[in-house]
């Protein structure tokens, strides 16, 4: 699918933020592990989160989606997982792969996890090594530290450690499965602890499902006793990651946009986008559960460290390209191990639009100045939506392989059209 975005003069309206993808993943998986029947209200149904839901079914949970209100009822297995009958294909969902690798050790027999071509390039060795210290047998089938991965049932527990500078999903994975280990689990994070807000989100939802999980020793270690998740009704909050594209579009154009269901006290690291557009010169008002953007269409470059919000890299890179002056993004070397090498792909595609962009080891240096052109998503949902913002500002931006926005933000173009109050997109092959 190709998506051509035309220039918009103004964006305005009231919109509800999509449900959080990160919280939805965790809610589905933890409810599936819990005792009894849980209701997950307002979850996100996307390619990634559906992969987690399918995995929950494969491990024996009963799942029912209400066609009227979209709520999801999950009957948990109380830690008594069954071995999936087939290979578990999680498609492009790195979160599902990482979390379910540790969860697989709670099922008897052997579980095989794989995904699409992109996912099979995602690093896993640090997680496999850490699980080995907990007497979990898990290994890469190609002996290259990447999927497919085979996990043998059996989770003894004990002491382990893991690097903190590769993926916070490794830490969340061990934490989520640890309550059902045979013995207590002591997990120590070594070195720099990146993307810590995602672990905060994990601990938050674990507590809400009845498990005691806390930081120890200067927030670099965790102690989890054997225990069980309890059923509960849980409402998923709005997603700052997805809302960042609406916020960015409102900052880039003349605007009057209110985004509801964004909690001011959210643990999501990507709420940093609010501070970033303010620093760029946009007027932002934050209330208890909504964000109001009043843009004048003129932004200035900024220096920003995205260590704890790496998913904002494409969004901020897009904003930098349409701003006056230079924007420097740092702290995101770990973004090279996402759906794509996001530092490299952002640099490559922005340069096609005339942007003066310099790729650095842990980020980008961008000098504002951009025009229309043809770009490619590299099958990365976040790159599609970031490039869309540029299209709204300068016009005539055609994005190849654009349909992957469905991974995290279904109906993204339709929502943007309504806010722009004009039919400014044309689609081919959709």
Instruction: Choose among 266, 268, 305: nearest CA to 289.
Output: 266
Same-domain status, 342 and 226: no
pLDDT at 399 over 70: yes
Enter the DSSP assignment of 172: H
Place of tokens 């997990």: 187
Q: Give the domain extent around 10.
A: 2-18+238-428
Q: Specify binding-site residues for phosphoenolpyruvate.
A: 21, 94, 122, 169, 342, 382
- Render pLDDT for 300-343 as a digit per residue (tens, 0 to 9): 999 999 999 999 999 999 999 999 999 999 999 999 988 899 99
Give me the pLDDT at residue 423, please.
Answer: 42
pLDDT at 51 over 70: yes
Same-domain status, 294 and 414: yes
Total of domains in the chain: 2
Is-cis flag, bond preceding 74, omega within 30? no
Same-domain status, 223 and 288: no
Positions of E strands within 220-346: 221-224, 233-235, 254-260, 283-286, 290-294, 303-305, 326-330
- Answer with the one of 235, 264, 288 that is the final residue of a domain: 235
Same-domain status, 283 and 177: no
- Render pLDDT for 162-186 as a digit per residue (tens, 0 to 9): 999 989 999 999 999 999 999 999 9
Separation CA 201–CA 127 (nearest Å)? 19
- Answer with the one of 235, 256, 280 that is the final residue of a domain: 235
Q: Reading across the β-sheet that carries 425-428, which strands appear in turn?
A: 373-376, 397-400, 2-5, 425-428
Q: Specify binding-site residues.
A: 21-22, 26, 94, 122, 167-169, 195, 311, 338, 342, 382
- Sequence-ordered list of residues with C-beta below 8 angstroms from that of 117, at least 6 positions apart, any chain: none
Domain CATH for 389? 3.65.10.10
Place of tokens 């999903």: 169
- DSSP SS3 for 348: helix
- Answer with the one of 205, 235, 265 that is the final residue of a domain: 235
Q: From the candidates 54, 270, 311, 376, which is the catalytic residue?
A: 311
pTM of the model: 0.92
Same-domain status, 140 and 274: no
CA dihedral 337, 338, 343, 349 (to 10 degrees): 140
173-196: b (≥16 Cβ within 10 Å) or e = bbbbbbbbbeeebbbebeeebbbb
The question of whether 311 is a catalytic residue gets the answer yes
Q: Specify binding-site residues for 3-phosphoshikimate.
A: 21-22, 26, 167-169, 195, 311, 338
Stronger pLDDT, 70 or 57, i.e. the higher one: 57
Same-domain status, 220 and 252: no
């Amino acid at each position: 699918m190709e998506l051509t975005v035309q220039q918009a003069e103004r964006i305005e309206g009231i919109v509800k933020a999509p449900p959080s993808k990160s919280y939805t993943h965790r809610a589905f998986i933890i409810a599936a592990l819990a005792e009894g029947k849980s209701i997950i209200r307002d979850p996100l149904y996307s390619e990634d989160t559906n992969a987690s839901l399918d995995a929950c079914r494969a491990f024996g949970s009963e799942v029912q989606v209400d066609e009227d209100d979209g709520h999801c009822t999950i009957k948990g297995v109380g830690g008594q997982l069954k071995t999936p009958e087939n290979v578990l294909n999680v498609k492009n969902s790195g979160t599902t792969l990482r979390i379910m690798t540790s969860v697989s050790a709670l099922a008897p027999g052997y579980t095989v996890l794989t995904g699409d071509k992109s996912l099979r390039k995602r690093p896993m060795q640090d997680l496999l090594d850490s699980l080995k210290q907990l007497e979990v047998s898990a290994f890469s089938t190609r002996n290259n530290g990447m999927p497919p991965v085979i996990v043998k049932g059996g989770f003894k527990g004990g002491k382990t450690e893991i690097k903190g500078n590769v993926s916070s999903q490794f830490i969340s994975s061990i934490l989520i499965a640890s309550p059902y280990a045979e013995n207590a689990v002591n997990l120590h994070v070594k070195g720099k602890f990146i993307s810590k807000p995602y672990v905060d989100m994990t601990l938050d939802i674990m507590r809400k499902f009845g498990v005691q999980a806390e930081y120890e020793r200067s927030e670099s270690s965790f102690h989890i006793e054997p225990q069980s998740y309890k059923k509960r009704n849980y409402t998923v909050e709005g997603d700052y990651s997805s809302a960042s594209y609406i916020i960015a579009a409102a900052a880039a154009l003349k605007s009057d946009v209110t985004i509801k269901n964004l909690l001011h006290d959210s643990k999501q690291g990507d709420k940093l986008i609010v501070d970033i557009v303010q620093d760029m010169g946009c007027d932002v008002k934050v209330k208890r559960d909504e964000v109001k953007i009043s843009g004048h269409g003129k932004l200035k470059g900024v220096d920003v460290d995205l260590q704890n919000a790496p998913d904002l890299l494409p969004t901020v890179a897009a904003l930098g390209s349409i701003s006056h002056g230079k924007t420097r993004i740092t702290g995101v070397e770990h973004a090279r191990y996402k759906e794509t090498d996001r530092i490299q792909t952002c640099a490559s595609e922005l340069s096609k639009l005339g942007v003066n962009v310099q790729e650095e080891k842990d980020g980008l240096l961008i000098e504002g100045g951009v025009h229309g052109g043809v770009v490619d998503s590299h099958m990365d949902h976040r790159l599609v939506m970031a490039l869309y913002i540029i299209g709204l500002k300068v016009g005539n931006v055609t994005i190849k392989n654009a349909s992957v926005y469905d991974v995290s933000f279904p109906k993204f173009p339709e929502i943007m059209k309504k806010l722009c109050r004009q039919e400014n997109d044309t689609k081919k092959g959709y």
